[in-house]
Structure 1
Amino acid sequence: MEAFVYISRCIIVLLFSWLCVRLIGKKSISQLTSYDFTALMIMANVAAEPLVYKISSKAFLGSLTIAVAAVVIGWMSLRSKFYNFDAKPDIVIANGKIDKEALKRNRMNLPFLLSLLRLQGYVKVSDVEFAIIEPDGNLSVIPTSQSRPVTPNDLKLDTQYEGITLPLIIDGEIQYNNLKFAKLDTAWLGQEIKKSGASRTEDVFLAELDTTGKLNIDLFKDSVDNKPGIF
């Protein structure tokens, strides 16, 4: 009986902590602001108290208070007066020259900066017009006009509209909103499914409609027999 109570308490704490994290917002770990990260660390400690001391009410109230406080601070940061409440972008490379003081402010050494540039596809600092450390810690790179990839606009070429690919079937289920958005119906979709060799919607793992009107279908029975080795 005691084990059942403990397991139940673990599940309740997990669900409540998940709700509090969802309340803070949808962000990946790399996108967390300093106050979001601090709130999550404190919340983890507070939420775990019922597992040790068997006191749930204070832990739940504390977790909820921390989550609400993080939301309020996040809301304040949306106001112009608090734009730099957490941090502001910092330029570490300007006109191909490294700002040594900016590196010191951000506690970033030169090898790490060069590593971030290589990850962005730049092996020479002189190819970079500006490099900016964003508030979330990521590095944004603006290359020189001679180092950036050639675009159709540079070559004065006209391109066709690409838009976005619409998934019409996901895991055997028809996405009716997307089907309606594409101004198509289930009768047309059924015909396309039969052309692919399937007899039912449930046989389709994924069906995507591109902007040219072509439907790409991946069936559950399809397999990849020949794959290269990855090291």
Structure 2
Amino acid sequence: MFIVLIRTIILYSLVVLVIRLMGKSQIGELQPYELVITIMISDLASLPMQDTRLPLLLGIIPIITLLMVKTILSELQQKSPFIRKLIDGAPCILIKDGKINLKTLKNQRININDIMEELRLNGYFNISDIQYAILENNGQISIIPKIKKQPVSKEDLKIQAQEEQLPILLLLNGKLINKSFQKINKDEAWFDKFLQEEKAPTRNELYIAMLDSNGKLFYQSKNEIENLDEYLT
């Protein structure tokens, strides 16, 4: 039993490491060959995990091999558009200028219900409102509406607005994030003064503090977290 536990931990750690090295694409964003490799890795890990009669290397070696194959294919795709097209394929136009491309639908085994569902998920109901619907290599459908159906932007309304920045985490669970202060060229004294000006709790009383995308201080104390837990129960 102890041997099974150790083998499971080793194989699980290896699979997690391999998946991390393969990249951070979500399941729905994987290319076909990446999905095949992911499925094969899970199968290869499960065999020696369940059957202790099989050598552990019987799972480790093929998993490492698949990682090497994935790495080599990724490098080849970066260097050659032809190989990238050969492995991943090319995007296909399903709708153009409000007209359905019936030949592409037949070749890609897609029916009209699939397209209508995708349009509804994107907030559109009429095919005539769509300039382009493109089937991407990962199976997702990109919807580009006609100009008259595109949402109005601040630029269209001539509204002046600043570009938003990524939030910067300054403190978590009472501990300062030093890298964040180096990034904004500030120190602890500035932060303490900032808290006083905002009439916020002290550092030790805070659970989280960050500069939001507008440069404003967002904070929440540990007591507020506890109160929320009590309220939910």
- For Structure 1 versus Structure 2, the TM-score category normalised by the shorter chain is 0.7 to 0.9
**Selected match of 1:162 from 146, 149, 164:** 164
> How much does 1:210 deviate?
3.2
Which structure features the higher share of helix residues? 2
CA contact (8 A) 2:130 2:144 kept: yes
TM-score normalised over the length of structure 2: 0.86
Q: Give the letter aligned to residue 199 of structure 1.
A: T
Q: Could you tell me which of 90, 96, 99 is aligned with 2:98?
A: 96
Deviation by residue 1:113-136 (Cα, 9 ceiling, x = unmatched): 111111111111111111111111
Provide the rounded CA distance (Å) in 2 between the counterparts of 1:215 and 1:115: 41
* 2:28 is aligned with 1:25: no
Rounded Cα–Cα distance in structure 2 between residues aligned with 1:83 and 1:170:
43
Match of 1:199 in 2: 202
1:180-195 equivalences under 5 Å are 180-193=182-195, 195=198
Task: Judge conservation of contact 2:122–2:143 (CA < 8 Å) in 1.
Answer: yes
Counterpart of 2:220 in 1: which secondary structure? strand
State how 1:122-201 maps to structure 2 within 5 Å.
Answer: 122-193=124-195, 195-201=198-204
Residue in 2 that maps onto 1:66: 66
- SS of alignment partner, residue 148 of structure 2: coil
AA of the residue aligned to 1:50:
P
Identity rate of aligned residues, in percent? 27
Q: 2:12 maps to which residue?
A: 14
In structure 2, the gaps of 5 or more residues are none
Distance 1:172 1:89, change over 3 A: farther
Deviations 1:79-134 (A, max 9, x none): 22222121211111100111122222222211121111111111111111111111
Q: Give aligned pairs, total.
A: 223
The structural deviation recorded for 1:155 is 2.4
Aligned to 1:43: 41
> What is the CA RMSD across the aligned residues, in angstroms?
2.1
139 and 204 in structure 1: CA distance in 2 versus 1, 3 angstrom threshold? farther
Q: CA deviation at 1:157?
A: 3.0
> Where has structure 1 moved over 6 Å in runs of 4 or more?
none
Relative to the length of structure 1, the TM-score reads: 0.87
